Amino acid sequence: WLRAYESAVSFHFSNYFVGFLSEATATLAGAGFTEEKDHLEWDLTVSKPLNVELPRSMVEVVTSWNLPMSYWLNNYVFKNALRLGTFSAVLVTYAASALLHGFSFHLAAVLLSLAFITYVEHVLRKRLARILSACVLSKRCPPNCSHRHRLGLGVRVLNLLFGALAIFHLAYLGSLFDVDVDDTTEEQGYGMAYTVHKWSELSWASHWVTFGCWIFYRLIG
């Protein structure tokens, strides 16, 4: 598991490097700003590393990973697919993301796994927030939310537990991006056999935990 976490963090920081580089080049090109009433704000942000490494939820991870891409997928794929139902819209969105990433098997496996993980997390936390009247949603509540329990010890502990679960999922999913993989495998691509082997080493733990969370969600309904 430590090796899986190391591979995940290594992959994360390669993404941050690309994100910060794109921010710098866009700003130097004069494109990284917003304008409001003749006032320029150089506020282009591509990724938010702290929200990924110390997440509140997996939903926060996927939105903070690449903000412009997340915005585009949400507005032009997810919202248009909502007429198919929420879960179907989530699957369509992650499938579109997989296509944009080149549809390599291991990336598609990670993204489609994320679809199930984020959906189950979202509906479970939404139901817990309703039952407990507590601020435990996947996204932070606005200051004027109607929940009775906002900053209590129980709320903080529950959010920390979900945050720890998100780190667990990240380590599991990131295990596919092994930094020490041999050159032959890297040149041929990470195929199905490689993906199955890496996740089998971790006993498919993240998928089983997600299934357990879904069962719990159904039981408390």
Tens digit of each residue's pLDDT, the chain (221 residues): 889 999 999 999 999 999 999 999 988 888 877 777 677 777 789 999 999 999 999 999 999 999 999 999 999 999 999 999 999 999 999 999 999 888 788 889 999 999 999 999 999 999 999 999 999 999 999 888 888 998 889 999 999 999 999 999 999 999 998 866 655 555 555 778 888 999 999 999 999 999 999 999 999 97
To the query of whether residue 149 is one of the catalytic residues in this protein, the response is no
Whether the Cβ atoms of residue 172 and residue 7 lie closer than 8 Å to each other: no
| Residues 58, 163: Cα–Cα separation, whole Å | 8
Whether the Cβ atoms of residue 57 and residue 74 lie closer than 8 Å to each other: no
pTM: 0.90
Which residues 6+ apart lie within 8 Å of 179 measured at CB?
6, 7, 10
User: Of the listed 101, 106, 147, 197, which one is catalytic?
Assistant: 101
Which residues 6+ apart lie within 8 Å of 21 measured at CB?
none
Helix, strand, or coil (residue 51): helix
